[in-house]
Copies of this chain bind each other. A is one copy, B any other.
Amino acid sequence: MGDSFGQVFRVTTFGESHGGAVGVVVDGCPAGLSLDASDIQAELDRRRPGQSSLTTARAETDTAEILSGVFEGRTMGTAIGIMVRNQDARSKDYSEFKDVFRPSHADFTYELKHGTRDWRGGGRASARETIGRVAAGAIAGKILREYFQARTLAWVSQVHDVHLEIDPARVTPEAVEANEVRCPDPVLAGQMVARIETARKSGDSVGGVITAVVRGCPAGLGEPVFDKLTADLAKALMSIPATRGVEFGLGFQAAGLTGAQHNDVFEKRQGRIAPASNKSGGIQGGISNGEEILLRLAFKPTATIARAQETVDRNGEKVDLKGKGRHDPCVLPRAVPIVEAMINIVLMDHILRAAARNNLEKLPEMLNRTL
């Protein structure tokens, strides 16, 4: 059951790093959306390895093929199957890992759980699995943009000890995409690149933080009690490999404030009631309030590093491990489209859930179909 996410807009991924293919089935996408492979490819290209010197040298075009659910350029309301073939899988680079457990990698826990694992390139724990997420997120994001004028924007706000302080309102997609590290400030971006290069050269890796904002998010998303929007976003984001923490609005900083300091007072603005400030980050009581959603996601440094580490093999014998295979010394630049994809999937799922549940009076009209 762990390979699916969402209740109404439901995404199921499959695929290992060095298997035949990775992909996704999207169940629950409404009919009538204009969609072709290029919509998906655009997002996959942002996630693709080899797009810059910061990323793994694995050469994958990551070409998406839509297998089902789309006819004459429109979704049909049926399951959308999307597949990307694995091509440049140099499995033998990983043969050294066959009997050894990389420190802080999923090698150990996968084998502990299942009694077996695909040791080639991380298998199912590889970030290649996220291709299916990005493809599904591209569909969700297209609906959000075209039908709701809503847009999720994520960027790298910290790499190791380089921190970006910026007013989220000032960040543009162009500024984020303007450099290989996906930090909207060019000066700090340069420092981040340098920090990553230093790590790479020393056979090490670095962690960091991604910040995300949703502009134009519809109000009323999120269900009382367990399926709060914060809760479902937290699950979606913490399911991304290498994540270690997530916070909304002021996050952990809110713990140090008083209510009088933290509360967002309401006002009447442009004909509607809205909070005068947005310390809550667009979600109150677990439901979106129509303001910008703001969140931050912490990533640990890549577990697989090039420098030697002492670990043990399957028999518990000490071995000196050197990280062969091809790995990003910092996962964050390529994680930006993954974060956006997961947020869009959650929003799309909650839009469909809210549409079903919140409109008793309009239900008959929504079902009033004849030919």
Contacts and interface: CB of A to CB of B under 8 A. Distances in A.
Contact of A2 (B227, B235, B266): B227
B14 A69 contact: yes
A178 interface: no
A101 B272 CA distance: 13
A326 interface: no
Interface stretch (A39-47, A50-58, A60-68, A186-194): A60-68
A315 to B, nearest CB: 9
B3 A79 contact: yes
Given A101-B273, A113-B358, A256 B226 contact: no
Interface string A124-152: 11000100000000000001000110000
Interface in A260-296: 260-268, 271-273, 275, 279-280, 283-290, 296
A317 B371 CA distance: 12
Interface residues of A, number: 174
B254 A3 contact: no
Given A245-B245, A246-B234, A28 B1 contact: yes
Contacts of A301: 254, 257-259, 261-262
A322 interface: no
Interface in A211-239: 218-228, 230-239
A312 interface: yes
A169 interface: no
Contacts of A201: none
Nearest to A119: B71
A16 B233 CA distance: 25
A298 interface: yes
Contacts of A368: 218
Given A14-B25, A31-B116, A223-B1, A255 B78 contact: no
12 contacts: A2-B223, A20-B67, A31-B116, A112-B287, A158-B256, A230-B243, A244-B247, A244-B248, A246-B247, A259-B301, A273-B316, A358-B366
7 nearest CB pairs, A to B: A106-B285, A2-B223, A245-B247, A268-B316, A235-B235, A2-B227, A14-B81
